[in-house]
Amino acid sequence: MAGTLSLGLAATASAQGAAYPTKPIRLVVPYPAGGATDVAARTLQPRLQEELGQPVIVENRPGAGGNIAMNNVALSPADGHSLAMTLTGMLSINPVIYKKAGFEAADFTPVARVSLAPLLLVVPEKSPYKNVKELLEAGKKAGKGGMAYGSAGAGGLSHLASESVNSHANGNFTHVPYKGGAPLVQALMANEVAWGLLGTGDVRSFIQSGKLKAIGQLRQGRSELWPEVPTLTEQGVPGGVDFDVWFGVVAPAKTPAPVVKLLSEKIAKITAEPAFRQRLLDLGGVAPASGNTPEAFAEVLKRELAVLPKAAQEAGLQLD
C-alpha cells in the first residue's frame, strides 16, 4: 500500500485553477444519509456553497464499506468539482482489509478536516469498573475468552483501536462485532459485552442520561467535549496514535494546487466560525482548533498509515 499522499504540489496554476469553481460541486459521502459522515457533509454544505459561489451537492453513495464512493471520486476528473467527505480509517484501513478496495491513500489529495470526535471507552451503567486500569486487570484475570468487548464492525477503527487496548490485557478479551454504533450501544446497555469504543455522536446522550459510563478517551489530550474523562495515556495505556474520529474533505490526486489551497482556506474559514463550531458541539463534534491545512491533514493521514494498516494485518482482517 502506498504510504505517501499527494498534495498536488507539482501542479501549477492554470486558467482552470484561477476560474474554479465553474460548475456545481459534488461532495460524495460513502455512507447513507443520516450517519455521522453525512451529518458532517451537510453541516459544511450550506456555508461552503456560499463561499464558493456554486451549488455544493451532497451525494450519498453507500456500499462496500465506503469503497464505492471512494472509487467514484478517485476516478473523477481532478478539477475540484468532485470531492469526498471521508473519515478516520477509510484511506488507511480499507485498502488493506478489502481484497478489491480499488483505491489507495495516494489516489487522494487531503484538503481539510471538518470535525473531530474522540473515541470513548464506555462500559455499562452498572459496570464495577471505575477506570481503564481496573477493566484491563479484570480482563487479565478472566483469561482468554473470559470477557468480551464489542465493536461497531469488524475491520473498522472501533475494532482496531479496541485491539490496541486489548493488547494491554494480554489479548484476553473476545471481540464481538456489531453492525454499527447503535447496535453496540444497545449491547452495552444489555450487558452483552463489558466495554466498547464509540464516537461521541453515538454515546453522548446515553452518557448524559447515565445509561453508559465513559472511563477513558483514546486520544493524545482531553477533548473539550469531555474534559472530565481522562485519556488512556493518563491511565498508563499508551495509544500510539491519536484515534480521534475525524471527518474531512479529500479530492482526487493531481487536483491543481491552487484549487486545493482555495478549498482548504474556505473550509478552514468556515470551521473557525463561532456559529459553525457551536453547531458541531451540539452534534457532538469539535472543529479543528488551528492549522487546518492540506499539509496538516496529510500529517494526520501519515500517522495513520504508519499504524493502522499494520494493525489490520496483524489482526488477520480480510474482507471480500
Pair (176, 94) in one structural domain: no
DSSP states of 129-147: --SHHHHHHHHHHH-TTSS
Does the residue 133 lie in any domain? yes
Does the residue 46 lie in any domain? yes
Q: Highest mean pLDDT range out of 96-105, 249-258, 302-311?
A: 249-258
The CATH number of the domain holding residue 147 is 3.40.190.10
- The per-residue pLDDT for 7 is 46
The CATH number of the domain holding residue 292 is 3.40.190.150
For range 292-303, the mean pLDDT: 94
Pair (281, 213) in one structural domain: no
- The per-residue pLDDT for 240 is 58
Query: Who wins on pLDDT, 17 or 149?
Result: 149
Pair (126, 87) in one structural domain: no
Does the residue 8 lie in any domain? no
Structure confidence at residue 274 as a pLDDT band (50, 70, 90) = very high
Taking the C-alpha atoms of residue 276 and residue 302, their distance in angstroms, rounded to an integer, is 27
Does the residue 224 lie in any domain? no
Provide the mean pLDDT of the chain. Answer: 90
Q: Long-range pairs for 184-191 at CB < 8 Å and ≥24 separation?
A: 184/150, 184/151, 184/152, 184/158, 185/212, 187/150, 188/122, 188/123, 188/124, 188/150, 188/212, 189/124, 189/125, 191/124, 191/126
Residue-number span of the structural domain to which 258 is assigned: 15-116+246-314
Does the residue 6 lie in any domain? no
Q: How many folded domains does the chain comprise?
A: 2
Pair (179, 133) in one structural domain: yes
DSSP state of 55: -
Structure confidence at residue 230 as a pLDDT band (50, 70, 90) = very high
Structure confidence at residue 16 as a pLDDT band (50, 70, 90) = very low
Pair (200, 130) in one structural domain: yes
For range 5-23, the mean pLDDT: 56
Pair (72, 20) in one structural domain: yes
Structure confidence at residue 105 as a pLDDT band (50, 70, 90) = very high
Pair (170, 263) in one structural domain: no
Among the candidates 217, 237, 260, a domain finishes at 217
Structure confidence at residue 200 as a pLDDT band (50, 70, 90) = confident
Pair (123, 89) in one structural domain: no
Taking only the tens place, the pLDDT of each residue in 307-319 is 889 888 887 778 7
Does the residue 233 lie in any domain? no
Helices 274-283 and 257-271, interaxial angle, to 10°? 80
Residues forming beta bridges with residue 98, ordered by sequence position: 319
Pair (81, 140) in one structural domain: no
Q: Which segment of 128-132, 153-157, 283-287 scores lowest on mean pLDDT?
A: 153-157
Among the candidates 217, 238, 272, a domain finishes at 217
Residue 102 has pLDDT above 90, yes or no: yes
- The per-residue pLDDT for 241 is 58
Pair (21, 104) in one structural domain: yes
Pair (84, 123) in one structural domain: no
Pair (112, 138) in one structural domain: no
- The per-residue pLDDT for 202 is 85
